[in-house]
Amino acid sequence: MINYTAKYTKISSGYMGQLVEWPEVVTEAKDLEECRTMLRDALNEMVTAYKQLGKEIPLGNALIEQLPIEVHSVSQAT
């Protein structure tokens, strides 16, 4: 069993889902649940295609960490 890390981004039409370890696996959907389902389906299809082509399947199990940073606004010179 391999675990992949999904990243979901809110976009104007709903959500975009992408795998961190396999960026070519990407989907878009109107809501988060549909995006999750579509991303899982896309992953299964990519695994099948890579096996058929004899290509190496990217490893999963990435470690994701959020790094907080304080951002100050910069005054623009006129």
Residue 25: Cβ-neighbour burial (10 angstroms; 0-12, 13-18, 19+): buried
Q: Given pLDDT bands bounded at 50, 70 and 90, which one contains residue 69? A: confident
The pLDDT of residue 67: 80
Q: Given pLDDT bands bounded at 50, 70 and 90, which one contains residue 77? A: low
Nearest CA among 43, 44, 34 for reference residue 8: 34
pTM: predicted TM-score of the whole model, two decimal places = 0.76
The pLDDT of residue 78: 55
Question: Are 35 and 17 within 8 A, CB to CB?
Answer: yes
Selected residue with higher pLDDT from 77 and 46: 46
